[in-house]
Amino acid sequence: MLNFLFRRIAAGIATLVVALFLMFLLVDRAIDPLQDLIESTAPNKQQLIEQRIADLNLDVNVVVRFFQWFGNVLTGDLGTAWRSGRDVSSLLTHAIGSTLELVTAATFLAVILGVTVGIVSALRQYSAFDYITIFLSFLLFSLPSFWVAVLLKQWAAIGFNDFLRDPVIAWPVIIGASLLVGLLWSLAIGGSPRRRVQVFGIATAANVALLAYIQLTGWWDRPQIGPVLLVVLGAGTAVAVVGVFAGLHNRRALWTALTVVVLGAVLYFPMQVLFDSITESNWLIVGLALVAAAVGYLVGRLYGGADWRLSAHTGAVVALVMGALIFVDQVLQVWGPYFKALDGRPIPTFGDRTPNLGGNYWVQVLDSFTHLALPTATLVLIAFASYTRYARSSMLEVMNQDYIRTARAKGLPERLVIVRHGFRNALIPLATVVPIDVITLIGGAIITEAVFARPGMGQLFVRSLTEAEIEPVMAYLLVTAILAILANIIADIVYATIDPRIRLDA
């Protein structure tokens, strides 16, 4: 493992230096810092040109200037944007922070939704659900991102903000939406006609109950999860996770998941006191998430059994979901003052922060979430189509392998065949695709950032090229090149983790 990392890092450093050298030559050739002065009609134009040449060292050979820049980078100096006079490090820090927020949310949601729907579609091959999934994936894949972004601004932002003036959902709409949800669930679960009817009835009734609760309690005016919904959603998550990964017959896993739900409900009120004391610390929230996962894992370990690892993993997943629900509930508690501060239009259509908003840590978190909603939805819809197709084709290929037929011939339950033998091997192609996609997005979702005026990496790159500032452009290329190299290394490690036939120390 160490030899592999050493070889790849050494090769990566060599590749990085060569790539940066070539890109410096190309960028220097592409931009002209003197263009505005050449087109100027100022009487002292020639003097201004000579002064800028001296300031930017344009009279020095481009190769020498590259090594001067690279030497400064090794000392931690990324240079200065000569037009604004701002330090490149500060520009890059803000841009990459804004982009990381967007990429993290979009990638996580796209992978979870895309892989889940793709695998279910493969398991229901040639069914109505499969045809619907194929149609939607091709439709979304063919849509240009700027068009999706503009539609979301019009309907998901402006339309939703208008809806909040009088948040009433008509009962025919509730019933119609619930029937559609019930139909989709019945197609996804499949089975005998009797089972489909049962799933349709349960899903429809559950959706009607949820929407009726939202409607009758005035949830849109005071959105919250609260202890009751926390227990209901947590119990539903526990049953779903156990049913998929362990089977409801595995009592130890089921009791582990339900115990974690009870612990989350008990800790709900003490966590409110802790959250109120938080002023500004995202790392504390990350630490609490790790503690929650560790507690869930410990609960599964304490229940023991021959397959205690399955119970422990189930407990960790349910604990993370419970922690996320409690966190979201705390964020929603500041919805009232935030709603008033934005004059009743809380879903913004541009930027990544509301200027001069003020408020405590939770108001800032809610403001960040609302600004992430539309660009994240845009990227998720586009990426969802790709991940669905990848997961579906990979799962279909895996399910036709000899070892799957062998597992079935041994009498293993179909759930075990799918989860333990099929699902893991179906993830192998995605282990290569996802890290590369993440780095591509970190490089800047340029069109999405432009539509929503989000000051991320893509906008930094385009703006710097337009203003002929080579230092910010090279800083951007430096970060993206390093991340691309790391993404390839991570992809190899994940690939070897999923597929035991691959050895990194070979």
Which residue reads 């691309």 in tokens? 484
CA–CA dist 370, 381 (Å, integer): 17
pLDDT for 500 equals 66
88 vs 471: CA distance, rounded Å? 7
The first and second tokens of residue 293, run together, are 């996962």
Name residue, tokens 């009433």. Answer: 168
CA distance 101 to 234: 26
Instruction: Return mean pLDDT, the chain.
Output: 86
Quick: pLDDT tens for 453-488: 888 888 888 888 888 888 999 988 888 888 888 888
As given in the structure block, the two tokens for residue 162 are: 């208008």
Residue 279 vs residue 174, higher pLDDT: 174
User: What is the mean pLDDT of the segment spanning 8-28?
Assistant: 90
Nearest residue to 395 via CA among 419, 423, 414: 423
Q: pLDDT digit string (tens) for 349-358? A: 888 888 888 7
Segment among 176-190, 201-215, 266-280, 392-406 with least mean pLDDT: 266-280
> Tokens 């009817």 label which residue?
197
Q: How far apart are CA 16 and CA 256, in angstroms?
A: 48
User: How does DSSP assign 93-149, residue by residue?
Assistant: HHHHHHHHHHHHHHHHHHHHHHHHHHHHHHHTTTSHHHHHHHHHHHHHHHS-HHHHH
Q: Name the DSSP letter for residue 59.
A: T
Between the two ends of the chain, the Cα-to-Cα distance in Å is 9
- CB neighbours of residue 272 within 10 Å: 13
**Would you call 383 helix, strand, or coil by DSSP?**
helix
- Whether residue 401 is predicted with pLDDT greater than 90 in this model: the reply is no
Lowest pLDDT segment from 47-51, 127-131, 198-202, 303-307: 303-307
Nearest to 265 by CA among 323, 309, 312, 211: 323
How far apart are alpha carbons 299 and 287 in whole angstroms? Answer: 18
Can you give the C-alpha Rg of the chain in angstroms?
27
The first and second tokens of residue 349, run together, are 């259509």
- The 3-class SS string of 63-78 reads HHHHHHHHHHHHCCCC
Strand partners, 381: none
Mean local confidence (pLDDT), 254-260: 93
Percentage of residues in the chain having pLDDT higher than 90: 21
In contact, 255 and 221? CB cutoff 8 Å: no
